[in-house]
């Protein structure tokens, strides 16, 4: 359709051409607006023999109760759209907010998706009945969450592309204990993040700019129970959390995970502003909740009130921003800038890592229920 209204010889013809063109433009706009987002989950492998060797007998009672609840699947009916799912004016959303919010949805979807792939792989490769059962429920929940976010993305005109399957994928390796630390923290921090936003929006519903936040409560209960399962796994063998080297690892994980969250959240000012959330407050609050929960299994706890804590986090944030600027600049100056920023980030990390930790005697009984 190359006709142009200016070429028309009569008014009627001109109108007809304009109408035709309008139809075409709408279709093109829809096609274009349906951005294609390629999901890029990572693929992992681990020491499956070590995983199979886990014996949950020391925590059998708690384990069975938790698994029975996961099997009963109390959240099955929760992830449905009902009348609470308000219509959203995506077109009218402020572009910066839209960009940050879409980033939030896409990254969340990818994270759930990667979890689903990892857990399913562990279930498939393992032979230990207890472990396989756990991973099958976790994989189920993650796929469900991913589907729910995917639907919100479709509404926003973003189609996820699953074409990654036919791309070459390299499998990286994690030792089982690293999977425990990382996924335990990730699930618990996910719970703390979601529940903090949920409670905040309960008090300030005027800031709820998308209905997905209404689903956060039950959603984070899934995260919470996944975390519980990893807490139990870590308690099957005291060495995993109590040996000298592993205490240092746990400290490392806490520092790395908390500071990464700080950096990423601070890079999304519009998203948090729209929610009416002060990022400094929110992140500290999430750290506090996570630290309190993690007393169930970690023998050390970061000192979030230490004067070096906030200073270190801010230094880290500045170093990462400098790194981004240097990357954008490119060339030799960019390279120098990156090295500089890298060393600043490393120094900030060392400063955070060396803050004396608080010792914690883990309780006799591991299990917790969501209480926030």
CB 75 within 8 A of CB 221: yes
Q: For another protein, give the closer residue by CB, 177 or 235.
A: 177
Site string for another protein, 129-168 (x = CB under 8 A): ----------x---xx-xxxxxx--x-----xxxxxxxxx
Q: Name which position in 132, 267, 347, 355 contacts another protein (CB under 8 A).
A: 267
Q: Name which position in 51, 118, 138, 357 contacts another protein (CB under 8 A).
A: 118
| Beta-carbon count within 10 A of 161 CB | 11
Which one of 4-12, 18-26, 113-121, 273-281 is the stretch in contact with another protein (CB under 8 A)? 113-121
Residue 84 found at the interface with another protein (CB under 8 A):
no
Cα 67 to Cα 3, 130, 186: the distances in Å are 66, 9, 20
Residue 216 found at the interface with another protein (CB under 8 A):
no
Instruction: Classify residue 356 by its DSSP letter.
Output: P
Site for another protein, residues 37 to 56, rule: CB under 8 A? 42-45
Residue 263 found at the interface with another protein (CB under 8 A):
yes
Name the CA dihedral angle for 23, 25, 29, 31, rounded to a multiple of 10 degrees: 70
Q: Which residues sit opposite 43 in a β-bridge? A: 171
- Closest by CA position to 148, among listed 94, 227, 70, 85: 85
Which one of 60-68, 99-107, 228-236, 274-282 is the stretch in contact with another protein (CB under 8 A)? 99-107
Which one of 19-27, 52-60, 240-248, 262-270 is the stretch in contact with another protein (CB under 8 A)? 262-270
Extract the tokens encoding 44. 């992992």
CB 30 within 8 A of CB 146: no
Residue 181 found at the interface with another protein (CB under 8 A):
yes
Which one of 14-22, 177-185, 287-295, 330-338 is the stretch in contact with another protein (CB under 8 A)? 177-185
Helix (H) or strand (E) holding 35: strand 35-38
Extract the tokens encoding 235. 């308690």
Site string for another protein, 308-337 (x = CB under 8 A): ---------x--xx-xx-------------
| Beta-carbon count within 10 A of 289 CB | 19
Helix (H) or strand (E) holding 38: strand 35-38
Residue 124 found at the interface with another protein (CB under 8 A):
yes
The CA angle 349-350-353, to the nearest 5 degrees, is 85
Q: Name which position in 51, 122, 138, 179 contacts another protein (CB under 8 A).
A: 179
Rounded CA separation 222/226 (Å)? 6
Residue 112 found at the interface with another protein (CB under 8 A):
yes
Q: Name which position in 36, 95, 170, 359 contacts another protein (CB under 8 A).
A: 170
| Smallest distance, another protein to C-beta of residue 48, A | 9
Q: Name which position in 5, 73, 85, 104 contacts another protein (CB under 8 A).
A: 104
| Smallest distance, another protein to C-beta of residue 183, A | 6
In the chain, the N- to C-terminal Cα span, in Å, equals: 59
Q: Which residues sit opposite 79 in a β-bridge? A: none
């Amino acid at each position: 359709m190359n006709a142009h209204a200016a070429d028309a010889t009569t008014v009627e013809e001109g109108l007809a051409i304009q109408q035709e063109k309008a139809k075409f433009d709408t279709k093109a706009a829809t096609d274009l607006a349906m951005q294609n987002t390629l999901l890029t989950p990572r693929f992992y492998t681990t020491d499956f023999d070590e995983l199979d060797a886990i014996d949950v007998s020391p925590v059998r009672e708690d384990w069975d109760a938790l698994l029975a609840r996961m099997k009963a699947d109390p959240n099955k009916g929760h992830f449905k759209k009902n009348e609470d799912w308000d219509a959203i004016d995506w077109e009218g959303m402020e572009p910066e907010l839209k960009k940050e919010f879409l980033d939030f949805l896409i990254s969340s979807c990818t994270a759930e998706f990667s979890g689903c792939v990892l857990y399913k792989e562990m279930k498939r490769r393992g032979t230990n009945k207890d472990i396989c059962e756990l991973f099958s429920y976790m994989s189920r929940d993650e796929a469900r969450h991913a589907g729910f976010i995917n639907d919100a993305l479709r509404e926003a005109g973003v189609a996820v592309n699953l074409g990654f399957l036919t791309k070459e994928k390299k499998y990286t390796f994690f030792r089982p204990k690293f999977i425990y630390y990382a996924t335990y923290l990730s699930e618990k921090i996910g719970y703390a993040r979601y529940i903090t936003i949920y409670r905040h929006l309960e008090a300030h519903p005027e800031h709820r700019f998308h209905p997905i936040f209404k689903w956060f409560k039950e959603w984070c209960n899934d995260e919470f129970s996944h975390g519980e399962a990893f807490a139990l796994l870590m308690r099957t063998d005291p060495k995993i959390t109590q040996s000298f080297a592993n205490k240092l690892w746990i400290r490392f994980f806490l520092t790395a995970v908390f500071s990464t969250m700080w950096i990423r959240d601070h890079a999304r000012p519009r998203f948090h502003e729209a929610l009416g959330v002060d990022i400094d407050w929110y992140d500290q609050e999430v750290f506090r909740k996570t630290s309190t929960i993690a007393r169930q299994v970690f023998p050390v706890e970061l000192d979030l009130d230490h004067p070096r804590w906030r200073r270190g986090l801010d230094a880290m944030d500045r170093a990462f921003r400098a790194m981004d600027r240097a990357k954008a600049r490119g060339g030799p100056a960019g390279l120098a800038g990156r090295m500089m920023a890298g060393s600043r980030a490393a120094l900030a990390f060392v400063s955070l890592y060396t803050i004396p930790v608080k010792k914690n005697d883990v309780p006799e009984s591991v299990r917790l229920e969501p209480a926030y």
